[in-house]
Amino acid sequence: MAPGSQRERRRGLAQGIAAYGLWGLVAAYWKLLAGVEPLELIAHRALWGLLAFAAIVAVAGQLRAFGRVLRQPRVVGVMALSGALLAVNWCVFVGAATSGHLLDASLGYFMNPLVSIALGTLVLRERLRRLQWTAIGLALVGVGLATWSAGHVPWIALVLATTFGLYGFVRKIARVDALIGSALETLLLAPFAALYLALRGGGAMADADAMTAALLVGTGIITAVPLVLFTSAARRLPLSTVGFLQYLSPSGQFLLAVFAFHEALPRERWLAFGWIWAGLAVFSIDLIRTPRRPPPPP
């Protein structure tokens, strides 16, 4: 691997860790807004997120690049698809986080990397090393145990895993800058959000106290920052690596659900999460070892 490619990979790895670390803790933010309906929260998230992205694009000097992308119907169509996937994922996650089902959401994001890895290997023809296959096997056992212990079809987990796995795949193949693409997604969602809030007379913001209003406005920042980090990482790393980094986010959600929100956790789920964390450890060892190997001769 060329030195420049190694630098890009390390940069993408740092961005991915930061993005998933933030997503692992963001449920605590949504818990503060539990009195607001999930769909309304998503509408605020889209509108304030648009302002946040507009500011970031302007500061980064990318306004002309953004204008050029707007004149490309194919890119706009792809971003509309990724935006729709993201909106569904947001709505289900926020609903789960505010209604006491954060453990179900964490299960979905534990399943999500398997979707990304499957797309990477089957569609993009990415090759996995032996340790990576071992890690996937361990994680798959854990996901199976977690699903079995739930005792029912975990629809929250399935929807979250599928929508975000497909979202990562679409952003991987979309030929658009990470920041520009995320800003365009939010721009496409904003009219629907504005219409929804207008029909509700402004929603919670109409009679919110100062703290609630500030938290609603802050949804733009907590939306923009990790999303830009994620999409930038997705373009620099193999989709299979991005998929496994996603275990950082549900691990944070798991810790919040158990130790901060005191959701019930049966012994079987502890065992399931142990298998998953073992897989994450094996995959991490492989990521650490790989850059140190000398490149093959030409």
| Integer Cα distance of 278 and 66 in angstroms | 42
In this predicted model, which residue has the larger pLDDT, 218 or 273?
A: 218
pLDDT band at 191 (very low <50, low <70, confident <90, very high): very high
User: So what's the pLDDT on residue 88?
Assistant: 94
CB 159 within 8 A of CB 93: no
Report which of 144, 152, 157 is spatially closest to residue 276, judged by C-alpha positions.
144
Domain chopping of the chain, boundaries: 3-292
pLDDT band at 290 (very low <50, low <70, confident <90, very high): low
User: So what's the pLDDT on residue 291?
Assistant: 54
Model confidence, pTM: 0.78
In this predicted model, which residue has the larger pLDDT, 263 or 192?
A: 192
- Please write down the long-range contacts of 119-123, taking CB distance under 8 Å and 24 or more positions apart: 119/165, 119/166, 119/168, 119/169, 119/239, 120/238, 120/239, 120/240, 120/243, 121/240, 123/169
| Integer Cα distance of 235 and 11 in angstroms | 11
All residues at 6 or more sequence positions from 34 whose CB lies less than 8 Å from its CB, including other chains: 98, 99
| C-beta atoms surrounding 127 within 10 Å | 9
User: So what's the pLDDT on residue 87?
Assistant: 92
CA 110 to chain centre: 11
pLDDT band at 294 (very low <50, low <70, confident <90, very high): very low
CB 103 within 8 A of CB 257: yes
| Integer Cα distance of 124 and 126 in angstroms | 6
- Mean pLDDT (the chain, rounded): 84
In this predicted model, which residue has the larger pLDDT, 153 or 245?
A: 245
In this predicted model, which residue has the larger pLDDT, 121 or 65?
A: 65
pLDDT band at 184 (very low <50, low <70, confident <90, very high): very high
pLDDT band at 216 (very low <50, low <70, confident <90, very high): very high
Residue range 258-269: mean pLDDT, rounded: 83
CB 224 within 8 A of CB 50: no
136: amino acid identity, one letter? I
Residue range 120-149: mean pLDDT, rounded: 82
3-state DSSP assignment of residue 209: coil
Residue range 155-174: mean pLDDT, rounded: 88
Residues recorded for the chain: 298
DSSP 188: H
Residue range 90-109: mean pLDDT, rounded: 89
- CA dihedral for 60, 176, 92, 106, sign (positive or negative): negative
DSSP 152: S
Residue range 210-239: mean pLDDT, rounded: 86
User: So what's the pLDDT on residue 293?
Assistant: 46
Report which of 181, 28, 168, 35 is spatially closest to residue 109, judged by C-alpha positions.
168
| C-beta atoms surrounding 147 within 10 Å | 18
User: So what's the pLDDT on residue 292?
Assistant: 47
User: So what's the pLDDT on residue 1?
Assistant: 46
CB 181 within 8 A of CB 231: yes
CA distances from 140 to 232, 280, 294, 296 (A): 27, 11, 31, 32
Buried b (16+ CB within 10 A) or exposed e, 213-245: eebbebbbebbbebbbbbbbbbbbbbbbbbbbb
In this predicted model, which residue has the larger pLDDT, 124 or 103?
A: 103
Residue range 47-75: mean pLDDT, rounded: 91
The string of pLDDT tens digits covering residues 100-122 is: 889 888 888 877 777 877 788 88
| Integer Cα distance of 127 and 143 in angstroms | 22
